[in-house]
Structure 1
């Protein structure tokens, strides 16, 4: 079959037969018609297996392959047309864009856009911007509306970027308050149940140990039986964790050694150490435990026997859960410390100052406006202003003294030290804000500051208006201790001054003028020292 030559109904080629038409040839085997010889030869090779004897290096394409390629080209053309159509349909709207013209300016900075390549339309508002001012990106839908879920990223201006709904300088914000409250309440409930469980175990242990002590403390083998039964009671109250499964402390995670022993908490059963540095567990006397938790329902009271020294080992976690809430309630009900009580006084004074100061400022501005118009202020307003100012100065004076006392009060722990520092900062800010500006206020009530005002002021200053002292006369930077020391020193110097004056008189009578000169110099020094102390004391001194 491979060597068979197929004869087609075509005469050998002659010069006369070269012009024969070679179209519409027929397959000699299946009598299928083809339009040319190339398709016929391809048919013979592929369908009838004549390709082994024919050595044709020219590429051949079957009709099926040609048909499939043509289909692929048609599909590709159709897809490209659909893509172009979709691109036109899915394009964001541009009807609101401002057209570029020569001399157009950036909507943000006003810079002239020299060419169209420098201009860029904000996809949201449509205004023209420079590229620098239109580089933010947000999600927009095809209608140019903000759509953070289904929109696509487009350039926009800074104004549209920050005016979008939900914009926040710190990023997106999700309110998890409700979820947090649920978790918090659930944990609080679990903690409360845990606390009740530990308290019940503590009551069982203390009652049981007291009963066992009353039973065995008089017998001969009492100590041995007592210790054994107490251990049995402790193990029955809460299951102890197996020693062989634990190699580190449950609280500080320190590895147990030959010197660092394992201990079981009698309330939770966990294994902890007894290091003094970490206080992971402590053996507390039953006498102390029952006194602190006197609100629990104990059926047994601690024996009055002074030899009763039994204790219960409790870990720090159980101790905090049982005793910290009680300590907190006790601290709240207890009297405040010296620093806290002074802080409450400072708060009350600050409330008084904040209430009176606006009224004082209103009256002061009213009187100043009246005086600028060369009119006589109302005597009622002047007297009211004097009362408010006197009240303010007294409050400022008390506030300053309390602040000094708080600063100099000795603290007993770190918490009080922190409170003291905080009060010092708050008081300093309050003084700078409220008290120091008062020193610059005009003293309207004291006297007229100029000659043309003296005649106007005399008409109402002589009507019995109380004179108000200056703030510097009332304010004092001295503590109570310093005031007492200065007063004692002042009394001593005044006594010495009186004695020197008597001695000078006696010396003058006896004609001892050399002594008079020395005594006079000493008297001057003492008087100078008295004046200095008197100035420091201010109103706190005495004549």
Structure 2
């Protein structure tokens, strides 16, 4: 009887509870968009107004689902188009319908881009999760701040702990202070190590544990890792000190990539100076790729590793930027110097060409009347001067091409200057040839031959002086580190000089009325070469450069090829095509022999 009574009492209480819940739901008229859980503690909100309100949601309906309630959703089949008035997109296999989690209406993908925080009853809740909602639901109410709590206690604890730290270690230059301490200790230890022990340097230094490897403020009694907060164990989690900050860290929160070393190229003797020590992260830009002969690895924590790595990379970037700036400055200096030289040569060519034009015009109209000898000498000198200026200008233009621009702007500027120089040379060279053609039409053929003979003779004398001076300068390098190669180059130059000498002797004896004998020319040439070797050498080197065989050989080859190119230009500009063919061939053979020698040395 008691069990039966309790059973009827339970059913009665349940019937009254359900009846009261149904009465409250009917009288309040709540819908799914307005029902809030009492746990959240927020006032119910109204849903956005559509043609039909969403159905109401009961507590039983919500708890039957895992996640947010969907009982108030409008069936997708009942909405053939998007509910948004500004869209009205017809649904298809590509444009599929979607429900708004807040109001339950059906929209397209584009109209459900917004998200709001909702609770399980589809109501606004700052503590809820983000769900896709329509534009009206997104704009219907501002999102609350949610639950907050005061962090003043934690802030005061952190501030108090920071005030107790050593200001030297945690200042902006703590990395520089730590590196200075490491360098001083490392150099002191090196200088106190015997030279015999230094033969096994890597083993010796690794076993020695100097006090300089960790800061004075290092915490010896710390029971847990400073970074991961895990406690140390005897076998599986050992403790280490960071060489930079002194914090106690574990194996996983530190590494041994910090290396202090003396570069192999900086070693000056048995004793070491403080300036020779370097502290870097190995295998990071700015640091060594492999261990030098004298080095030592140090422990560094993750935090200091990132700081040191960034500092090392920034220093390397600064060095690269400085080098680039120096290259830009050097390029601008060379460009300005070349441009000034070209302008000077242009003025000289314009002035000489103007005088030559006046001379030719005066001879044509008969206003310049002198004897034949004076006319020949004047025209010969004018042509020789103009030919020399054109050769010099063309040589400098070719050197200008060797400049390497450092940016697109400098490349464009250099290209414009080069085009302007080539245009000037082409126009003035064409005018010079035109004046010579007009002169040939006016003057007798015998006079033109005499003028050309004078020009050829002077050109060959200049070539003879250049080749002989170059040969003597290359012979002077016979006792240097590249003496063998220099001797071979000098032998080729001596052979070419002999060919030029034979040709010059024949020319001097052939010319009639020439009062310069070969002995006089040889005496004057020796005096001039002696003066040039003392005042204006073709290959200038310093005592240090003489001790560098590779650099010295490259310099000799480069300057020899430049002089030979200049000689070829002079012969091409001054001498007729059929004259001095043996001299031209010998100059070309010397250049080819020098280049062959360079290729042979490179292969060896």
TM-score above 0.5, yes or no: no
Of the two, which has the highest radius of gyration? 1
The higher-RCO structure (CA 8 Å, 6+ apart) is: 2
Query: Normalising by structure 1, what TM-score?
Result: 0.29
Query: Normalising by structure 2, what TM-score?
Result: 0.27
